[in-house]
């Protein structure tokens, strides 16, 4: 079910960590699963990944802070060394950041820029750095192999809160919403270019999920959300490339 190589950003907790757990538990686990984490090795927030790593030789941990160009560059070099000529089949841009705002008085340029950096700029810079590896995987696939995650794909974890159509006064989170709207546009725009290189893309909303970001009030467990998102990823093809959908497959308004 899973392709040979997968890289997930922000994989040390929440939805990203659950993706790692489910991939490793699968009988069709990736031969090379790269889980990236912002904090240094040995730090408290990487404990769960390091415990998984001690039991799974196909799991590789790479430090990556998506707001640091230097960190992205050095992570790309490590990943290139791990994957070599086979390239990268699937990039999951999962890392994200959200603070709650309730009124214009709370918004600052620093908080706006921080949200845009983690949620929109970072994912595109990571994609830019890893694009040569995705291209390698697309070229390595036989000319008859179908477009999809088995060949070469990028999935951006999006949010329904990034939809302009769904803007509402009840749920402000203005900086987060605007940054996820920017991710939608960037993801869609670069998606056209990726498709020409044989790489499909998807903007995928996980639902409202019980994580540090989603809070305990969320109705969905990470386990249920991730299992459904993996089904959606498996269905990704040329026709669905560049769309914005939720974990059930419902097409969301931009
Ligand atoms: N939970 C929901 O209900 C929900 C709904 C819609 C969309 N989403 C999206 O789903 C994705 C995962 O969210 P989650 O609920 O799992 O959130 P989470 O539990 O808060 O985890 C966020 C992850 O992103 C990482 N991260 C933050 N800043 C980073 C940076 N500069 N560089 C690299 N990694 C960074 C965090 O690493 P650290 O541990 O180092 O901080 C952590 O691993 C996000 O893109 C989020 O916007 C979530």
142 pLDDT higher than 90:
no
Q: How far is the CA of 21 from the centre of ligand 1 (A)?
A: 16
Helix (H) or strand (E) holding 35: strand 32-37
Closest CA to 15 of 151, 204, 177: 204
Q: How far is the CA of 200 from the centre of ligand 1 (A)?
A: 23
Instruction: State whether the beta carbon of 209 lies less than 6 angstroms from ligand 1.
Output: yes
In this structure, is the dihedral angle defined by the CA atoms of residues 87, 58, 16 and 39, taken in order, positive or negative? negative
Q: How far is the CA of 15 from the centre of ligand 1 (A)?
A: 7
Is 33 part of any domain? yes
94/131 Cα distance (integer angstroms)? 16
The boundaries of the domain holding residue 134 are 5-246
The b-or-e profile of 25-50 (16+ CB within 10 A means b, else e) is eeeebbebbbbbbbeeeeeeebebbe
Q: How far is the CA of 145 from the centre of ligand 1 (A)?
A: 33
Say whether pTM exceeds 0.75.
yes
Is 218 part of any domain? yes
Question: DSSP character for 26?
Answer: S
Ligand 1 nearest atom to the CA of residue 208, by list position: 3
The b-or-e profile of 201-238 (16+ CB within 10 A means b, else e) is bbbbbbbbbbbebbeeebebebebbbebbbebbeebee
In this structure, is the dihedral angle defined by the CA atoms of residues 190, 196, 199 and 202, taken in order, positive or negative? positive
Is 39 part of any domain? yes
141 pLDDT higher than 90:
no
Q: How many domains does the chain have?
A: 1
145 pLDDT higher than 80:
no
The 10s digit of each residue's pLDDT in 65-112 is 999 999 999 999 999 999 989 999 999 999 999 998 888 988 999 999
Is 253 part of any domain? no
Is 204 part of any domain? yes
Instruction: State whether the beta carbon of 163 lies less than 6 angstroms from ligand 1.
Output: no
> CATH number of the domain that 167 lies in?
3.40.50.720
In this prediction, residue 42 has a pLDDT band, given cuts at 50, 70 and 90, of: confident
Is 251 part of any domain? no
């Amino acid at each position: 079910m899973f392709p040979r190589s997968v890289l997930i950003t922000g994989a040390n907790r929440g939805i990203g960590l659950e993706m790692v757990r489910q991939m490793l538990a699968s009988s069709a686990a990736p031969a090379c699963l790269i889980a990236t984490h912002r904090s240094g090795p040995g730090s408290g927030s990487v404990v769960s990944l390091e415990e998984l790593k001690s039991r799974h030789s196909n799991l590789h941990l790479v430090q990556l802070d998506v707001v640091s160009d230097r960190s992205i560059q050095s992570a790309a070099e490590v990943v290139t060394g791990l994957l070599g000529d086979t390239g990268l089949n699937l990039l999951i841009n999962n890392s994200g950041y959200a603070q709650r705002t309730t009124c214009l008085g709370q918004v600052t340029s620093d908080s706006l820029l921080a949200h845009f950096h983690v949620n929109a700029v970072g994912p595109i810079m990571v994609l830019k750095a890893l694009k040569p590896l995705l291209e390698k995987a697309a070229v390595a696939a036989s000319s008859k192999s179908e477009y999809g995650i088995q060949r070469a794909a990028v999935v951006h974890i999006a949010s329904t809160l990034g939809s302009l159509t769904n803007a509402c006064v009840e749920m402000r989170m203005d900086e987060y919403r605007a940054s996820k709207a920017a991710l939608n546009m960037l993801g869609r725009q670069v998606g056209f270019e990726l498709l020409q290189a044989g790489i499909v893309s998807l903007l995928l909303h996980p639902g409202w999920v019980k994580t540090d970001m989603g809070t305990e009030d969320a109705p969905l467990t990470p386990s249920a959300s991730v299992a459904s998102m993996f089904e959606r990823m498996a269905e990704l093809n040329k026709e669905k490339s560049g769309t914005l959908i939720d974990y059930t497959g419902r097409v969301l308004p931009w």
